A = this chain, B = another copy of it.
Amino acid sequence: MGTRCRFRRPSPVQEPPLIDLGLDLVERDGWAVLVVSGEVDVATAPRLRERLIELVNRGHHRIVVDLVGVEFLDSTGLGVLVGALKRVRTHDGELALVCAEPRILKVFEITGLTKVFSIFGSVDEAVGAG
C-alpha cells in the first residue's frame, strides 16, 4: 500500500520517527554528502534545515545535498537550500546539489534558482567539480 505513513499525528505514546523524510550523511573526498529522500514540504523542511545547520556548525563547509531520492520539493524546501547556501558562503564554503529528476529540476528552473545553485546529475560529478 503506497499510501501508508505519509504523515503522523501527535500521539499519547512515544512516536516513531516520521518516515517521509530520509536524511543520511556520507563523507566523500572532503565533502559532506547529505542524501535526502521522500517529500520536502513545510512539514519536513524544518528537519532538513536543522540538519544542514548542524553540519555547518560541526565544521562542514563543503556540502553536497543529494536530491535524487526526493519525490516532492516545494518552495519551503527551496528556501531551506537557499539559507544553507548563504550559510556555507559565510564560511567561504560551497554547497552543490545533485538532482536528475525533471520534475524536481523544473522547480529550480521556474524560480530562477538554477542560476543560484550548482546542480549536478550525480554525486560523482558534484564532488569531482568541487
Q: Interface of A with B (CB < 8 Å)?
A: 2-3
Contacts and interface: CB of A to CB of B under 8 A. Distances in A.
* Chain A contact surface mostly: loop
A2 B3 CA distance: 8
Nearest to A72: B1
3 contacts: A2-B2, A2-B3, A3-B3
Nearest to A1: B71
A25 B3 CA distance: 30
3 interchain residue pairs of minimum CB distance: A2-B2, A2-B3, A3-B3
Contacts of A3: 2-3
A3 B2 CA distance: 8
Contacts of A2: 2-3
A59 to B, nearest CB: 39
A95 B3 CA distance: 34
